[in-house]
Chains A and B, each alone.
Chain A
Amino acid sequence: MELKVVETPKEQGGCSASSCGGSADQLAHLPEAIREKVKNHPCYSEQAHHHYARMHVAVAPACNIQCHYCNRKYDCANESRPGVVSELLTPEQAVKKTLAVAANIPQMTVLGIAGPGDPLANPERTLATFRALSEQAPDIKLCVSTNGLALPELVDELCQHNIDHVTITINCVDPDVGAKIYPWIFWQGRRIRGRKAAEILIAQQQKGLEMLTARGVLVKVNSVMIPGVNDEHLKEVSKVVKAKGAFLHNVMPLIAEAEHGTFYGVMGQRSPDAAELQALQDACAGDMNMMRHCRQCRADAVGMLGEDRGDEFTLEKIEAMEIDYAAAMERRAEVHARIEAERAEQERAKASGGNVAFVSLDSLRARPQTPKALIAVSTQGGGVVNQHFGHAREFLVYEASANGVRFIGPRRVDAYCSGDDTCGEAETTLQRTIKVLEGCAGVLSAKIGLPPWEALEAVGIQPSGEYAWEPIEEAVAAFYQELLKGGHLDQRDERTREVA
């Protein structure tokens, strides 16, 4: 008897398709209507993020709360994380920029407003942008991301503007935990501090979540994992928000560096490492559909997740562009149809076992301790292994085992800073890359040069360029078999099991 390694055999148990994001379809358990809504949304569908792009417009500078991981003074062109932008736009400029990007990057399906402050603390600017875009660009999905404090009073207005996706950042449901994350909120004309502030914020977030789901709006919940502050508590958060109808939970790692001037950065609060993040995501996955491909974008990011083409669409450049949006919409529809045809083809190939590696059940039984292995992939989109190792700014990490292949998450080489030597980074890019790949058994790229190849082998990471242009999950499954047969996973057993 043979078994496809990309599938999860039922008797293995422990990891149902609905809760274990990243296997064939992490959204498989959702009703058809919701799947239809998210199937080309790069932030909500792990599969879609290989094919479609998103953009944020920075129209919302004001904020009504303070979070310990945020510093409102900070702006750096080399920085890529939430809350950071290069230029603030008026709603009119934001509409023009959106149309320009949509015309030039036809894969762009989603426009979000995420800051740099809180979009709902700037209701006029945020709603004016949505109003104009729902009229002028009906083929773009509109999303908003909020801390939730002003959400209940704005739910009905949001629903009027064709917004069917909302993200709420919920870091806690316990005010005692909240008091360690939020130093203050601005509420009804007063700055309120401590536990009371957290109590109000939590109540507003939960109320907003309930109101949105009652109106059929899709809600994703973002949580920042802060070791020692809310890491254990987030399992409870996951349960609560799922019970209230959130359809996706995105646990993101804290970003904290003293350079950012944030409370956590200056006070030495550490960020979680990749293994800790994965363990918490797995623990929450028992209760909820987890998202693992988040890139924690800037509030003015443009392009595929993990890339930022904002420089091509500065105010100066878009002013000079002539856009025929009717023509652009036709072209966009053609591009989207082509992408969907490619995705259907990849699905068919997978279903018919075209590129799937096979492993006999007998051989698995003979090896009850078949190890799990993390395999990194460099890709520039399309769902295939198609990026040169040296060009990779990030790697997608998959876990392969006898149970199949599942997506674990992205790891960024630039680690939130793409600055050159002037930033004080003494490490070379190769050293940084190898550090980022820690815990991985192998790495798949379209091509790998000899010096990095040798450096990777020296630290026990097996590189390969043999799977260039192959679909990622199939390539990972086949490479896993290759590593297993070659004995590469034997000596790694102990270490990888800790991680996996």
Chain B
Amino acid sequence: MALKIIESCVNCWACEPLCPSGAIFEARPHFIIDPKRCTECEGDHAQPQCAEICPIEGAILNSFGEPVNPPGSLTGIPPHRLAEAMAEIRAR
């Protein structure tokens, strides 16, 4: 049972000081969670702290490999609107 940071992490440091288990480490190309130490904050917090402050949708996965913050959940941008806008920019 552990969370995982993936490549969309922007290395903003927000999560690192919040981890009650000292499981988050600065690394390149992005921060990593030591799965042996991660407790998903059980016993310390109601919600896993790294996923609670992370500003990037999809950057943290739960133990099933699913994003804790799925597309649209943090920015409020509906995923289809983002896809349309990006397609329009690419077409220019």
Q: How many angstroms from the CA of A64 to the CA of B55 in the assembled complex?
A: 9
A62/B14 in contact, CB under 8 A: yes
B89/A68 in contact, CB under 8 A: no
Q: How many angstroms from the CA of A68 to the CA of B47 in the assembled complex?
A: 24
Q: Does A127 contact B (CB under 8 A)?
A: no
Hey, which chain B residues are within 8 Å of A184, CB to CB? 74
Q: Does B52 contact A (CB under 8 A)?
A: yes
In-complex Cβ contact of B14 among A117, A190, A262, A267 (8 A)? A117
Q: Does A29 contact B (CB under 8 A)?
A: no
Hey, which chain B residues are within 8 Å of A2, CB to CB? none
Considering only residues 252-271 of chain A, those with a C-beta below 8 Å from chain B are 258-259, 261-263, 265-267
A259/B77 in contact, CB under 8 A: no
Distance between A367 CB and nearest chain B CB, rounded to angstroms:
49
Q: How many angstroms from the CA of A499 to the CA of B79 in the assembled complex?
A: 39
Q: Does A331 contact B (CB under 8 A)?
A: no
Overall SS of chain A's interface = loop
The total of chain A residues at the interface (CB under 8 A) is 29
In-complex Cβ contact of A267 among B47, B49, B81 (8 A)? B81
Hey, which chain B residues are within 8 Å of A265, CB to CB? 85
Query: In this complex, what residue of A is CB-closest to B15?
Result: A62
A267/B89 in contact, CB under 8 A: no
In-complex Cβ contact of B10 among A68, A72, A124, A189 (8 A)? A72
Hey, which chain A residues are within 8 Å of B18, CB to CB? 189
In-complex Cβ contact of A63 among B14, B52, B76, B85 (8 A)? B14
Residue-wise, chain A 201-244 has the 8 Å CB interface mask toward B (1 for contact) of 00000000000000000000000000000000000000000000
Query: In this complex, what residue of A is CB-closest to B81?
Result: A266
Q: Does B27 contact A (CB under 8 A)?
A: no
A191/B77 in contact, CB under 8 A: no
Tally of contacts, chain A with chain B, CB under 8 A = 67
B85/A72 in contact, CB under 8 A: no
Q: Does B11 contact A (CB under 8 A)?
A: yes
- List, sorted by A's number, 15 A–B pairs whose CB atoms are closer than 8 Å: A61-B12, A62-B14, A66-B55, A66-B74, A66-B75, A68-B76, A72-B56, A73-B8, A73-B10, A73-B56, A117-B12, A184-B74, A186-B14, A189-B46, A189-B52
**A190/B12 contact (C-beta < 8 A), A63-B55, A68-B76, A424-B92 known:** no
A263/B75 in contact, CB under 8 A: yes
**A122/B76 contact (C-beta < 8 A), A190-B46, A258-B85 known:** no
Hey, which chain A residues are within 8 Å of B53, CB to CB? 62, 64, 186, 191
**A72/B92 contact (C-beta < 8 A), A66-B75, A183-B75, A266-B81 known:** no
Hey, which chain A residues are within 8 Å of B36, CB to CB? none
Q: Does A121 contact B (CB under 8 A)?
A: yes
Query: In this complex, what residue of B is CB-closest to A123?
Result: B17
